[in-house]
Structure 1
Amino acid sequence: MESHELAPGIRYAVTDRHGGVSPQPFGSRNLGGATADDYPNVLENRRLTARQLGLAPERVVWMRQVHSPDVQRVERPWHGDTPPLDGVWTTEPGLALASLGADCAAVLLADPVARVVGAAHSGRAGTLTGVAVNLLTAMAGAGAEPARMTALIGPAACGRCYEVPAAMREEAAAVLPETFATTRQGTPALDLPAGIAAQLTRAGLTDIRRDPRCTIEDPDLFSHRRANPTGRFAAYVWLA
C-alpha cells in the first residue's frame, strides 16, 4: 500500500480489497462500517491501512455517507456520533480524509498554495445535487482557488457498466447531460465520473485526474453491483 502525490505537499491513496482481516464476502480489506462485516474487523483494517500509509489511525476522518450534497470543515476526527454528510475538508496537516466506495466515486480536491484538501463521496444522488461542487465552494471560502486546484475522481462504476432504467437516465441527463451513457449491450446507463468532471470543469478546475478503473469490472475493488453483500474500499487525502 503506497501513497502518491496529488499536488506539492499533498498525498493521496486508493485502497483495494486485499491485505486485511475480514472474511468473505468482505475479504479482506473492508473499510466500510455500514456493512454486515464484524466491526472489529473493520477497525483493524482501518488501523492496518493507516499505518501502512504512514498515518496515525486516530487521525483519519470517516463520514457517515448518506448520498447528500452536504459538506463540512473538520479539524479533528468526530467525537461521538458522526454526522450524516458526504464531503469534508480541512487545513490541518496530517489529518487524513477518507471517502468510502463500492461503485460510487470518491472526489479528492487539493490546493497546494492555500494548503486545503477535501474529500467527497459522489454517488448518483450526490452527483446530481452537486456534492463535489459544494465541497469546492466551501474550500474556496478558506482561500482555495479552482484554477490552481487538483482533483482526482476515484474508481467508480463506468458508463459502459452502470445500467439504469431509461427514465432514470433521462432524469439524470436533464440535470447533468454528461452523465448520459449506454452500456456495451446497448441499454441505458449513467457515467457519473464524466458528470463529475464536467461539474468541476465548469467550476473552474483544469487539472482533473481520473482513476480509470471500473469497480464493476475490476475484481481487485469492491462493487455493490457485482457482488452484494460486499465491502468498501477508500480514497484518502491529506496534507503532508
Structure 2
Amino acid sequence: MVFSTRAGGVSVSPHDSFNLGDHVGDDPAAVAANRTRLAGVLGLDPADVVWMEQIHSNTVTVVEAAQDGPVAATDALVTTQRGLALAVLVADCVPVLLADHVNGVVAAAHAGRMGARNGIVAKTVETMIGLGAAPANIQVLLGPAASGRHYEVPAGMAADVEKHLPGSRTRTAAGTWGIDVRAGLVRQLLGLGVTNIEADPRCTIEDTDFYSYRREGTTGRQAGLVWLTGH
C-alpha cells in the first residue's frame, strides 16, 4: 500500500509535478511519463497498474487481468490476482486501500463525499468478502484527504452526509459546519467488523505536498496503490 505526493514528476504548472491524473488537462505525455516512473519505483510493470474512470459513484468492479485503459465508470476495484496493482486518484477525496493478505484479496476505493455517503467503502468490503476475504483480516489504510478542519459545507449537506455516514459531520477550524469523511469511514468500517484501520492524518487542503481541488481548482491528482505480491 502506497500513496504518492505531488513531488518528483515531469508535469508543469498547474499540474506540477507528479500528476497521475489523465483527465485534468495535463499533457498526456507527462502523465504517461509520471505513471511509468511510479511503476518503476514500485517495481511494477506499468501495464499491470489498473486505473479507474472515477465518477463519484458507489460502483465496485472486480478485475481479474490487466486492462487496456481505465475501468469505465467505477469508484472501487477489487482483485485476487497477484501482481495486479489497483490505483485510485484523488485531490481531496479519501483514497481507501484495503487488503486481506491471508485470503489474497485487495481493493482500492475512491471515497469522496458522495461516494462515501452512498456506501462505496461498505460495498467494497462486501465485494471482498464475496471473494473470500474475512473482515477480521482486512487491513485498511485511509490516505491523505480533506480534513474536517477545512472541509466546509452547508449545514444541510453536512446533515445529509451524517444521516448516511454517521460520524462524519463536524465543525471546521472556522466554526462552520464541515465533513470529516475519514472519521465517518472509520466508524462504518468498525461496524462492519473491520478493526485494523490506519488513517493518514494529513489534510490535502492545507498541506501543499499534495494536490487539492478545493485549494487550487485546476490541479493534478495523487494516487494510492495496493497489490498482492508474487505471481
TM over 0.5, shorter chain: yes
**1:21, 1:44 within 8 Å by CA — same for their partners in 2?**
yes
**Residue 191 (structure 1) shift:** 0.5
Q: How does 1:2-17 map to 2 (within 5 A)?
A: 12-17=1-6
**1:62, 1:77 within 8 Å by CA — same for their partners in 2?**
no
Q: What is the TM-score of this pair, normalised by structure 1? A: 0.93
Aligned to 1:209: 198
Q: Is 2:15 the counterpart of 1:21?
A: no
Aligned to 1:221: 210
**Residue 176 (structure 1) shift:** 1.9
Aligned to 1:86: 75
Alignment RMSD = 1.0
> 1:4-53: CA deviations, max 9, x gaps?
xxxxxxxx110000111100010000000110111111111000111011
Where structure 2 has 5 or more consecutive residues not aligned to the other structure, the ranges are none
Name the CA shift for 1:72/1:82 in 2 (closer, same or farther; >3 Å): closer
How many residue pairs get aligned? The number is 229
Aligned to 1:98: 87
Aligned to 2:140: 151
Where structure 1 has 5 or more consecutive residues not aligned to the other structure, the ranges are 1-11
**1:116, 1:144 within 8 Å by CA — same for their partners in 2?**
yes
> 1:61-116: CA deviations, max 9, x gaps?
00000000000111123236631000001111111000000000011111111111
Name the CA shift for 1:36/1:80 in 2 (closer, same or farther; >3 Å): closer
Q: How does 1:4-153 map to 2 (within 5 A)?
A: 12-79=1-68, 82-153=71-142
Q: Is 2:151 the counterpart of 1:162?
A: yes
Q: What is the TM-score of this pair, normalised by structure 2? A: 0.97
Aligned to 2:172: 183
Q: Is 2:184 the counterpart of 1:195?
A: yes
Secondary structure of the structure 2 residue equivalent to 1:230: coil
Identity of aligned residues (%): 48
